[in-house]
Amino acid sequence: MKRKIVATMCCILILSTISGCRLAKEDFGTNSYDDRLIGVLITTEYLDLFDFQGGEINLDGGNTQKYQGRLYAALIPKTYTKEETGETILTYEYVFEGIEGIQHCVPTMQPTEEENSYVAFVSDPAISDVHMDIFVDDDESRVSIDGAVFIIPSNKTNIYYFNPIFQSADGSVYAVMGSGFRVTNETYSGEGTLFSQTLDVTTTITENGKAKKDSVFITISISVLFTPEKIVVLQMDAKSQLIERAEYAPGTLPQEFTPASNVSYIIVETHKRDSLGNSIISRDIYDRVPAQYYASTATFIATFSARDDGFCTKNYSQLKWQ
């Protein structure tokens, strides 16, 4: 089966209306070959994978290597240590070496002598509100992953490229050139979602002589967040009297908070500065969980911290009610 990719620098989409915009869904069609869509690599640099001056290229049977149209990931060993026991665990991750970008993908790890194959979930800390659904039966398998990316307003033009990630039957993982979204300083009318993009591919696979539909859906949204400068946590009693005030730099809140027994609710203030330099404050309220739910219900304070690359990381601190 043939895939047609129209590759040109004009693939950059510029949206004049910002709030609530949604990019057109990428349509990769129904593939008869083994390569599966497994994720997206978001970069701020164009992946120049084709050796041409523009125009149209027909890719027969997914054979893009002769056009230098694939960026392959390396399978890198990673060692983790369990804090509780000190035990070390050896795992492997697919890494696009030399590329600055954020990954969001679900590669299948190949079987070894020690373990069977399994689906891994790789998501950069800059991707927040991550959610994954997996559905499998005799006739169909379906994977859906989504997430949100928060960016800091900038005085320069930035382009965010959404490069699809595929995996071949032999386990190799590669990214291909994707479309881009241009953001200028006129783009930012305030905080909120700029746009979202959905990639999806449906393939037909054969298991034990029976055809089976395999679908993958990936949705990523990009939202604007003004730069957090400090986080203030206010513990309040039932009469809305202040019991305790604590101030933190973004990203430095403790992993757990244990409010006093007479605290009825908590206000979390995020002090930020907008694109014009004005100071603004956003507030979230966390009510005390009823005592009978202490053991079964976990409440988390969610705050943001800005990274040097212009992305924000969402951080969580658990409230341990007494």
Extents of the domains making up the chain:
2-224, 227-319
Q: What is the pLDDT of residue 68?
A: 57
Report the DSSP beta bridge partners of residue 273: 227, 279
* Single-letter amino acid code for the residue at 255: Q
- pLDDT confidence of residue 67: 43
To 10 degrees, the CA torsion angle through 12, 14, 19, 21? -50
What is the mean pLDDT of each successive set of 10 residues along the chain, which is 322 residues long?
A: 30 29 36 72 83 41 53 87 80 88 89 76 91 84 91 84 91 90 77 86 78 88 92 96 96 92 94 86 90 68 92 92 81
Distance from C-alpha of 248 to C-alpha of 123, rounded to nearest angstrom = 26
| pTM score of the predicted model | 0.76
Q: Are 44 and 148 in contact (CB under 8 A)?
A: no
Q: Which two tokens stand for residue 142?
A: 């379906």
The string over 203-218, giving b where at least 16 C-beta atoms fall within 10 Å of a residue's C-beta and e elsewhere, is beeeeeeeebebbbbb
Can you give the pLDDT at residue 61? 42
The pLDDT assigned to 82 comes to 78
**56 burial via Cβ count (<10 Å: 0-12, 13-18, 19+):** exposed
Q: How far is CA 210 from the centre of its chain?
A: 34
pLDDT for 62 equals: 44
- Calculate the CA 175 to chain-centre distance: 16
**What does the DSSP 8-state code read for residue 25?**
P
Query: CB-based contacts of 251: which residues, under 8 Å, 6+ apart?
Result: 303, 305, 313, 315
What pLDDT is recorded for position 115? Answer: 72
